[in-house]
Amino acid sequence: MTGTDKIKAKILEDAENKAFEIEEQARQEARSITDQALKEAEIKKAEILKKAEAEGQEVYRRLISVAGLEARKEILKAKQDMVEEAFAKAVEKITGLTDTEYQKMLEEMVAGAASDGAGEILLSERDRKRIDRNFTDNINRRLKTIGRNGTVALSDETVQTAGGFVLRYGDMEINGTFEIVFDMLRPQIENDVVNILFS
């Protein structure tokens, strides 16, 4: 299983774990938004009927339509916020792995992205503190095992990222930071996350 597959599996696992809690929260928010919209529509209905009985029904229908549209917009926004939260929680869960698990995952990701030649790995300052001195040796052994004619070394440079790596071969860079990986995975798995959260 590649590092990307692991990240995808983690995202789906987190989404499933979070689904029940978020689903109930979404229902409560949806009920609250709908109740509020209906209350506002009823208040406006009474005012309109007092002012103009003849026009009241037409204006009322318009207000109900607008209130329903507003309620749907608020529900959609709440759902979008929850999807964002699910992805953020997935990153938190991955970066919250033990140092050993996290290093192993990074090693697999780097080995999967590496090519022939001498490359250098750029990590965040935080991730540099989480890895042990066998990090690059483990990756280089893995590269030999899978038949790649390349080696990697840890760069003195760091990158600003929540996690992941940048792998540099001269002027070419392979960006394996979580921000980029999640951006690439999102179109493939967002529908699954939405279905899990709101089915």
Residue 180 exposed, middle or buried by CB count within 10 Å (0-12, 13-18, 19+): middle
Q: What is the mean pLDDT of the chain?
A: 83
Element (H, E) at 117: strand 117-123
Structural domain boundaries, residue 86 = 3-96+187-198
Same domain, 69 and 152: no
Q: Decide if pLDDT at 143 tops 90.
A: yes
**Mean pLDDT, residues 78-103:** 85
Q: Which residues does 55 contact at the CB level (< 8 Å), separation at least 6?
A: 48
Shared-domain flag, residues 39 and 86:
yes
Q: Highest mean pLDDT: which of 1-10, 38-47, 59-68, 95-104?
A: 95-104
Confidence of residue 54 (pLDDT cuts 50, 70, 90): low
More confident residue, 19 or 57: 57
Model-level pTM? 0.59
Are 106 and 87 in the same domain? no
Q: Is residue 181 scored above 70 in pLDDT?
A: yes
pLDDT for the residue numbered 26? 60
Of 5, 1, 7, 22, residue with least CA distance to 162: 7
What pLDDT score does 110 carry? 95
What is the percent of the chain where pLDDT is above 70? Answer: 84
Residue 80 tokens, joined: 């979008």
CATH of the domain at 161: 3.30.2320.30
> DSSP secondary-structure letter at 147?
T
* 21 and 62 belong to one structural domain: yes
pLDDT at 106 over 90: yes
Query: Do 21 and 84 lie in a common domain?
Result: yes
Number of domains observed in the structure of the chain: 2
Q: How confident is the model at residue 22 (pLDDT cuts 50, 70, 90)?
A: low
Q: How confident is the model at residue 37 (pLDDT cuts 50, 70, 90)?
A: low
pLDDT at 66 over 90: no
Give every CB contact of residue 161 below 8 A, 6+ residues apart in sequence.
Answer: 124, 177, 178, 179
Q: What pLDDT shows up at residue 51?
A: 75
Same domain, 79 and 108: no
- Whether the per-residue pLDDT at 153 is higher than 90: the answer is yes
pLDDT for position 45: 82
Helix boundaries (H) for 96-177? 99-113, 125-130, 135-145
